[in-house]
Structure 1
Amino acid sequence: MVDDPEEGMLSWDESVFKNEHVFEIDYVPETFKHREGQTQSLTYALRPAVRGSRPLNVVVRGPPGTGKTTAIQKLFDEVGAQTSEVRTIRVNCQVNATRYSVFSRLFEGTFDYEPPSSGISFKKLFGQIAEKLVEEDRVLVVALDDVNYLFYENEASDTLYSLLRAHEEYPGAKIGVVVVSSDPALDVIDELDSRVQSVFRPEDVYFPIYDQPEIVDILTERVTRGFHDGVISRDVLEYVAELTAESGDLRVGIDLLRRAGLNAEMRASRTVELQDVEDAYETSKYINLTHSLSGLTDTEEALLEVIANHDGEQAGDVYEAFHDRTDLGYTRYSEIVNKLDQLGLIDADYTEVDGRGRSRSLSLSYEKDAVLDRLE
Structure 2
Amino acid sequence: MKRSLLMWDETLFRDPEVFEIDYVPEQFNHRDTQIRELAFQVRPGLRGGRPLNTICRGLPGTGKTTSVRKVFAEIEEVTQKLVPIYINCQIDNTKFAVFSQIYRRIFGHLPPASGVSFKQLLDAIARALQREEQVLLVGLDDANYLLYENEINHVLYSLLRSHEAYPGVRIGVVAIVSDMSVSLQTEVDARVASVFRPTEIYFPPYSEEEIRGILGERVVQGLYPNVLRSDLLDLVVEQTTKSGDLRVGIDLLKRATLSAEKAARRSIEQEDICKAYKVSRYLHLAYSLRALRAEEREVLGRIAEMAIRDDRETNAGEVYHFVREHVGISYTRYYKMIQKFDAMRLLNLHYRQGRGRTRLISLRYDPDRVLEHLRREQTGSI
Could you tell me the TM-score, scaled by structure 1's length? 0.97
Q: CA deviation at 1:233?
A: 1.1
**Superposed CA RMSD:** 1.0
| Local SS of the residue matching 1:310 | helix
1:121-132 correspondence to structure 2 within 5 Å: 121-132=117-128
- Give the AA of the match of 2:326: R
| Local SS of the residue matching 2:176 | strand
Corresponding residue for residue 17 of structure 1? 13
1:28-177 correspondence to structure 2 within 5 Å: 28-177=24-173
Corresponding residue for residue 322 of structure 1? 323
Deviations 1:206-251 (A, max 9, x none): 1111111000100111001100011111111111011101101000
Deviations 1:127-176 (A, max 9, x none): 11111101100010000110010000111011101111111110000101
Alignment of 1:190 onto 2:189: no
Corresponding residue for residue 363 of structure 1? 362
- Rounded to whole Å, the distance in 1 between the matches of 2:154 and 2:9 is 54
- Rounded to whole Å, the distance in 2 between the matches of 1:91 and 1:279 is 33
**Structure 2 runs not aligned, ≥5 long:** 308-312, 376-382
Corresponding residue for residue 346 of structure 1? 347
Could you tell me the TM-score, scaled by structure 2's length? 0.95
Deviations 1:323-354 (A, max 9, x none): 1112211110111010011000011111135x
Q: CA deviation at 1:308?
A: 0.9
1:269-288 correspondence to structure 2 within 5 Å: 269-288=265-284
Give the conservation status (yes or no) of the 8 Å contact 1:64–1:182: yes
Alignment partner for residue 210 of structure 2, among 208, 214, 218? 214
- Rounded to whole Å, the distance in 2 between the matches of 1:176 and 1:50 is 12
Alignment partner for residue 232 of structure 1, among 228, 232, 253? 228
| Local SS of the residue matching 1:104 | helix
- Rounded to whole Å, the distance in 1 between the matches of 2:368 and 2:167 is 55
Structure 1 runs of 4+ off > 4 angstroms? none
- Rounded to whole Å, the distance in 2 between the matches of 1:323 and 1:27 is 42
Q: CA deviation at 1:195?
A: 1.1
Give the conservation status (yes or no) of the 8 Å contact 1:308–1:363: no
Q: CA deviation at 1:188?
A: 1.0
- Rounded to whole Å, the distance in 2 between the matches of 1:264 and 1:323 is 46
- Rounded to whole Å, the distance in 2 between the matches of 1:109 and 1:333 is 36
Corresponding residue for residue 335 of structure 1? 336
- Rounded to whole Å, the distance in 2 between the matches of 1:360 and 1:299 is 22
- Give the AA of the match of 1:163: L
Deviations 1:34-81 (A, max 9, x none): 000000000001111111111111011011111111111111110000
- Rounded to whole Å, the distance in 1 between the matches of 2:234 and 2:276 is 15
Q: CA deviation at 1:8?
A: 2.0
- Give the AA of the match of 1:370: R
- Rounded to whole Å, the distance in 2 between the matches of 1:369 and 1:29 is 36
- Rounded to whole Å, the distance in 2 between the matches of 1:274 and 1:327 is 47
Give the conservation status (yes or no) of the 8 Å contact 1:16–1:231: yes
Deviations 1:236-284 (A, max 9, x none): 1111011101101000000000111111112211111122111110001
Give the conservation status (yes or no) of the 8 Å contact 1:139–1:173: yes
- Rounded to whole Å, the distance in 1 between the matches of 2:182 and 2:54 is 15
- Give the AA of the match of 2:363: L
The number of residue pairs the alignment matches comes to: 370
**Structure 1 runs not aligned, ≥5 long:** none
Q: CA deviation at 1:7?
A: 2.5
Aligned-residue identity in percent: 46
- Give the AA of the match of 1:332: R
- Rounded to whole Å, the distance in 1 between the matches of 2:365 and 2:208 is 24
